[in-house]
Structure 1
Amino acid sequence: MRHDRKIICHLLCSGAALTIAGPSSAAFLEDSKASIELRNFYMNRDFRQSGASQSKADEWAQGFIMKIESGYTDGPIGFGVDALGLLGVKLDSSPDRSGTGILQKNSSNQPSDDYGTAGLTAKAKLSSTTLHVGTLQPIIPVVMRNDSRLLPNVYRGAWLQSKEVDGLTLDLGMLDRTSYRDSSDYEEMTVFNGGARNIQLGNTKTSDEFLFAGGKYQFSPELTGSYYYGGLDGIYDQHNMQLVHVMPIGDNQSFKTDLRYVRSTDDGGSNVDNNAFGALFTYKIGGHGFTGGYQKMSGDTGFAYVSGGDNMLINLLQINDFGNEDEKSWQVRYDYDFAAMGVPGLSLMTRYVSGDNVNLAVGGEGEEWERDTDIAYVVQNGLLKNFGMKVRNATVRSNFGADLNETRLILSYTLPLW
């Protein structure tokens, strides 16, 4: 596997030479675009278990997410540059109510008045192949940014993507740092080890090298398959496979099957050993969506992924992902799009997931459940077009983790600058 890492690193380093500045052109400016997203975020997490060290976490903040994307210069190889700016501003918090993940804490463990980060990304394009070097926000099965709070987390590295073959997308990349969603700094990466995952690390606690490679192919309009490798050097290796089939049934009806399997093993510095299987089945008719799912963990540890990001487990919810050692969990979910009733932009989602059979390090069997409800509305017309409002509510109960009730209120508006 380390030989494969060297090959990937060599390919990326060779490709990075494409980012040497090329001649300017009108397309570089004419195809550029910029926007700023204003995100107002309130979050209340009420801890319900007896003996909790903190009764609640309750914070309110304003976020600013600025994106600038250039076009490409003319010529066989086009060059460009993107910029990202993230800023979070405290509106209400206190030390006894902090810890929601929407605000950074300073060196005195106090909520910061503001925090943020910025990054540049050089890019090059040849035919339908692009290379990005710098600040990245990947959303692929083995490494995914997390955008569930005030600001998203970001990564630093190089990402080569090719779409030369119709229906086929190939990805190759290397990351060396991440900036967490409530941080202004770039740090080395580590594996998430919350809950009862029972992952043990040796001398290698963090890593400055995450490699990923793989692809997605659309076999037909109804069937898509993918395979991706991801490896956090010295900690774990992972192989991710997914197959999605959408079967049209009739007018405004469909049945979707989503099958996922992930094999994770150690890479010399941990005890990671996990098989994760997930299956989701969704029936849609009109504005209604009915989903049932099953997820099973097996092996000596729970599911492994880069801390601070998201993952591809089917039972990744508002709070939990049910990826603990030996955990078995099932899901029921209902969605409704009110456009079917003549109210476009309004949507409802509610789901329930129950997990058991968790192998606890202290002995015994762990059980947990989570219930989520989202109500969202996006203004469709007028001066406030695309202004979004979302209320998210979650309830969690567990015999090995925190019992909590949580509510999030999110207001967002994206303003195009040019």
Structure 2
Amino acid sequence: MKLTPITSGLLLGSSAVFFTAPASAEFLQDSKASLELRNFYFNRDFRQDNAAQAKAEEWAQGFMLRYESGFTEGTVGVGLDAIGILGVKLDSSPDRAGTGLLKRDREAPNRAQDEYGEYGLTAKLRASKSTLKVGTLIPKLPVLLSSDSRLLPQTFEGGQLTSLELDGLTFDAGHLRQVNQRDSSDYQDMGITTVGMKNIRAPSTTSDAFDFANLSYKWSDNLTTGYGYGRLENFYRQHQLNLNYLLPLGAGQSLKSDLRFARSSNEGGSNIDNKSFSGMVTYTNDGHALGLGYQRMSGETGFAYVNGSDAYLLNFVQISDFGNREERSWQARYDYNFAVIGVPGLTFMTRYVTGDGVELGAGRGNGEEWERDTDIAYVIQSGPLKNLGVKWRNATLRSTNFGNDLDENRLIVSYTLLLW
């Protein structure tokens, strides 16, 4: 982890307060620590003709140690968080590398390293109901969703302010400088996603500044609305609106609406120009949930988001984001919770997403794609292995005129041990 002067100053201040016994009582008493173990098997078969690689297949073990302190007493409370993560190779080979689970060897890019990891420190200050964090961050906001879909999470370096001063209103704002990707141990400048047919062009390939602000207001227990702004220097500016509404229908039934709109425009000489709309309505009846969704891209480019992060799109699924230039996509999803028949902890999900109208350019016509996903998960509810989780994720992706044809399986075994 690389520390800025501001971060270093806050960390020194946190340490000074920590060693002042009377002031550090709450700092220690309210602290908590956990160790998450994640065993991850990943298999992706490339089914298209002339694929550069027949399959990507690796198996790895991850360790994530997290510590969160309390805050010292006083008008301005001081605290310190820390995270240490380690990935260990269990199985890989040069012809099967590239799953995103493991770091590539610098001297032999086709080979995965035996292990990799990082540590991060985050200084924090709290006044009233507002908290400022500076250091290692894992943002989970509509304008920037840190990805945690592989062995280790994607982390960022910067500062973030979270304020809860007004009842029902959550305000976040911040500035990020660098990113450490899921399969890396090095912080680097940020970039923009290039997967699919986005038609995005920019004079620069990297950025060292992502600025963001996000407002979320809870009008009632059933209605929440939000606005977000994100700016990736040299690439784009983005405005987002979202709405979530839950309509109770009585006797274990409800109807949930999830609507999202984003407008992305150019920054720093790029050609980014995109409007995206996605919406889903989900009907729930006891353990059953059936959802129908629609997503539409319009403009000169596809949906823009930071490379390696997750896109805040309803049709961003296991493999594809369905966010290509001029793409229209539909989703049908079914969930079932086996707790209603006496098997708590066991859940099932399946969905089908189909997209068309992808603008390929240069007389190539339009592209189409579809993806089918299935998740089965079980979390042990009691006994010595309580909270041990097992999840199997299966996906099939097929495309016409662009992209890869993929069959994919992921098996994830996870356990979180609360240390104190």
Instruction: Note whether the superposition's TM-score is higher than 0.5.
Output: yes
Counterpart of 1:366 in structure 2 is 367
Counterpart of 1:283 in structure 2 is 283
Counterpart of 2:171 in structure 1 is 170
- The structural deviation recorded for 1:17 is 7.1
Alignment partners' CA distance in 2, 1:212 and 1:261: 17
Counterpart code for 2:409: T
Residues 1:28 and 2:35 are matched in the alignment: no
Counterpart code for 1:120: L
Aligned residues with identical type, % of pairs: 56
Alignment partners' CA distance in 1, 2:54 and 2:378: 31
Pairing of 1:148-187 with structure 2 (within 5 A): 148-187=149-188
Alignment partners' CA distance in 1, 2:205 and 2:93: 31
Asked if structure 2 preserves the Cα contact closer than 8 Å seen for 1:289 and 1:336, the reply is: yes
Alignment partners' CA distance in 1, 2:147 and 2:269: 25
Asked if structure 2 preserves the Cα contact closer than 8 Å seen for 1:19 and 1:122, the reply is: no
- The structural deviation recorded for 1:302 is 0.2
Residues 1:131 and 2:132 are matched in the alignment: yes
Alignment partners' CA distance in 2, 1:269 and 1:103: 34
Pairing of 1:136-151 with structure 2 (within 5 A): 136-151=137-152
Counterpart of 1:236 in structure 2 is 236
Counterpart of 2:319 in structure 1 is 319
- Does the residue aligned with 1:221 lie in a helix, a strand or coil? coil
- Does the residue aligned with 2:95 lie in a helix, a strand or coil? helix
Counterpart code for 2:34: S
For residues 177-225 of structure 1, give each alpha carbon's deviation from its aligned partner in whole angstroms, at most 9, with x where no partner exists: 00000001001001101110010011x2211110001210011111100
Alignment partners' CA distance in 2, 1:215 and 1:378: 34
- The structural deviation recorded for 1:19 is 8.6
For residues 35-69 of structure 1, give each alpha carbon's deviation from its aligned partner in whole angstroms, at most 9, with x where no partner exists: 11000000100111111111101100000011011
Structure 1 17/186 Cα, relative in aligned 2: closer, same or farther at 3 Å? closer
Pairing of 1:85-104 with structure 2 (within 5 A): 85-104=84-103
Asked if structure 1 preserves the Cα contact closer than 8 Å seen for 2:11 and 2:123, the reply is: no
Q: Which runs of 5+ in 2 are unaligned?
A: 1-5
Alignment partners' CA distance in 1, 2:223 and 2:52: 49
Counterpart of 1:211 in structure 2 is 211
Asked if structure 1 preserves the Cα contact closer than 8 Å seen for 2:200 and 2:301, the reply is: yes
Asked if structure 2 preserves the Cα contact closer than 8 Å seen for 1:326 and 1:357, the reply is: yes
Q: CA RMSD in A?
A: 1.4
Alignment partners' CA distance in 1, 2:100 and 2:10: 38
Alignment partners' CA distance in 1, 2:382 and 2:269: 54
- The structural deviation recorded for 1:289 is 0.4
Alignment partners' CA distance in 2, 1:328 and 1:365: 11
Asked if structure 1 preserves the Cα contact closer than 8 Å seen for 2:48 and 2:405, the reply is: yes
- Does the residue aligned with 1:97 lie in a helix, a strand or coil? coil
Asked if structure 2 preserves the Cα contact closer than 8 Å seen for 1:19 and 1:124, the reply is: no
Asked if structure 2 preserves the Cα contact closer than 8 Å seen for 1:335 and 1:350, the reply is: yes
Counterpart of 2:403 in structure 1 is 401
Structure 1 227/121 Cα, relative in aligned 2: closer, same or farther at 3 Å? same
Aligned residues: 404
Asked if structure 2 preserves the Cα contact closer than 8 Å seen for 1:196 and 1:361, the reply is: no
Pairing of 1:6-85 with structure 2 (within 5 A): 20-21=13-14, 22=17, 24-85=23-84
Alignment partners' CA distance in 2, 1:29 and 1:113: 36
- The structural deviation recorded for 1:279 is 0.7
Q: Which runs of 5+ in 1 are unaligned?
A: 1-12
Counterpart code for 1:77: V
Alignment partners' CA distance in 1, 2:37 and 2:56: 23
Asked if structure 2 preserves the Cα contact closer than 8 Å seen for 1:178 and 1:186, the reply is: yes
Pairing of 1:321-360 with structure 2 (within 5 A): 321-360=321-360
Moved over 3 A (4+): 16-24
Residues 1:249 and 2:249 are matched in the alignment: yes
